[in-house]
Amino acid sequence: MTLAEYFPMWDQLTKEQQTRISSAAMSRTFEKGALVHRGSADCTGLYLIQSGQFRAYTLSSEGREITIFRLFERDICLFSASCMMRSIQFDISIEAEKETKTLVIPSEVYKEVMQQSAPLANYTNELIASRFSDVMWLMDQILWKSFDKRLAQFLLEESAIEGSKSLKITHEAIGNHLGNAREVVTRMLRYFQSEGMVKLSRGTVELMDPKKLEALLEN
């Protein structure tokens, strides 16, 4: 996978700028569960995802997690280089949800080229705006959507990502994604089970009636 596949304005960079980025890019692989980025104090660089899956999340003062967005093949992880954006500070952590292969562009190299290239700076701003949209969408979900709908939507999305109706995931992990306590997740999943929408077993949630979950979102 070439760098041009990640940057649609690649041809607008000079040959020297292209060489500067490509010569600095390094391959790095993360095992499932590895912590990739530890918040605003950590500034490794941009991760270009070749395969696998990252999860970006934040922690409350009580230590509760909530997933902000996920990154997949061909996505760019920008906030792992947040130090190059002085006016923006994010305490966002990033972990590998699956074994993930990446290309890493060091922050100082990317910033150097971005300061020289308006097309790269504009594209970076577009990426930032897209991630802010993800955050605003999440806030809207938390503030205005009931938990049963959020949980149903999460299960449907997870099923689509994994390509399976049988999800190998714990109630605690679901709570970490949605920012709710495990006990709250368990109660709602048991309700879903009583309504025939899911079947629960240790470490597994099986979607028995996806259409009923979809209908819940429409009510």
- As to burial, measured by CB atoms within 10 angstroms (0-12 exposed, 13-18 middle, 19+ buried), residue 103 is buried
pLDDT of residue 85: 64
Residues 130 and 31 in one domain: yes
CB neighbours of residue 14 within 10 Å: 11
Domain range spanning residue 24? 3-143
d(CA 69, CA 157): 12
DSSP count for the chain of H helices, then E strands: 7, 11
pLDDT of residue 83: 67
Total domains in the fold of the chain:
2
Residues 136 and 162 in one domain: no
Residues 18 and 40 in one domain: yes
Residues 38 and 99 in one domain: yes
Phi/psi at 102 (5° precision): -135, 165
Residues 167 and 97 in one domain: no
The CATH number linked to 162 is 1.10.10.10
Residues 82 and 30 in one domain: yes
Residues 72 and 124 in one domain: yes
What pTM was computed for the model?
0.80
Residues 126 and 153 in one domain: no
User: Residue holding tokens 């970490």?
Assistant: 176
Written as one string, the DSSP assignment of 80-106 is GGGGG-TT-----EEEESS-EEEEEEE
Sign of CA dihedral 194, 197, 199, 204: negative
Residues 10 and 35 in one domain: yes
Predicted confidence pLDDT, tens digits, the chain (219 residues): 789 999 999 999 999 999 999 999 999 999 999 999 887 667 788 999 999 999 999 887 777 889 999 999 999 998 777 666 665 566 788 999 999 999 999 999 999 999 999 999 999 999 988 888 888 888 888 888 899 999 999 999 999 999 999 999 999 999 999 998 899 999 999 999 999 999 999 999 999 999 999 999 887
| Residue where a domain terminates, one of 143, 166, 200 | 143
